Amino acid sequence: MTVYAIIGGTGLTQLEGLTLKDSLSLDTPYGAPSAPIQRGEFAGREVLFLARHGHPHRFPPHQVNYRANLWALKQAGAEAVLAVNAVGGIHAAMGSGHLCVPHQIVDYTWGREHTYFAGDIDHVTHIDFSHPYDEVLRQKLVAALQALGHPHSSHGVYAATQGPRLETVAEIAKLERDGCDIVGMTGMPEAALARELELPYACLSLVVNPAAGKSSGIITMAEIEQALHDGIGKVRAVLARVLVS
């Protein structure tokens, strides 16, 4: 059976329901990952779990060691990756609590270590990234959402921004003109690094706030934390259903 790795984002620094077998503190050529990799049983399946921002939550999006995280997961035996991301909603359908399985991504980040093909290498390598998410994994997430009856979108374009600040109203308007439906800070370079390591990768995005200018008020952390509290149980249920499918 496929060994799945789950990368937890904001609100999912621990995987409730995981029966822990061991915790792996791995080193990599790219430094230490955000946290030890937890190996255990979840929903009857052996899984790996990594807290993207560390546990406790301490690494902002632009300082996450994405290269070490993906490398360590593969080193630990991961064969596919399910990533969880908290995002803002741009499209009108993407209200707080909505779940989206994006099919495309636009990278607006800068200055991040974004590839393994750098430094002292033997030859230049270009990966195909036309379709950044693995379609088989995407469809498993969509099927789980449909079976559970959670409001969701089976497609969406993820805008990956630099952070850690939230975006301006003008920036969100630009992203919308670019065709983006949701906005987050951790979708890249994670997805591209998984592709470089030939790890099938898909993303489950939980909308935790309307993006800037998409509501009448300002965005507050209290609003985001409440949406995370209300939605993270749905995320766990979706992941569990994928694992037993």
Q: Which residues are annotated as a binding site?
A: 10, 52-53, 185-186, 209-211
Name the nearest CA neighbour of 34 among 63, 14, 5: 63
Pairwise CA distance, residues 30 & 32, whole Å: 7
Pairwise CA distance, residues 49 & 39, whole Å: 6
Pairwise CA distance, residues 226 & 208, whole Å: 8
Pairwise CA distance, residues 144 & 190, whole Å: 23
Per the annotation, binding residues for phosphate are: 10, 52-53, 186
Pairwise CA distance, residues 207 & 10, whole Å: 12
Tokens 């995370």 locate to 228
3-state class (DSSP) for residue 104: strand
Per the annotation, binding residues for substrate are: 185, 209-211
The most distant pair of C-alpha atoms in the chain lies apart, rounded to whole Å, by 54
DSSP 31: B
> Apex CA 94: angle with CA 89 and CA 97, to 5°?
95
3-state class (DSSP) for residue 27: coil
Q: 153: buried, middle or exposed (CB in 10 Å: 19+, 13-18, 0-12)? A: buried
Pairwise CA distance, residues 167 & 212, whole Å: 6
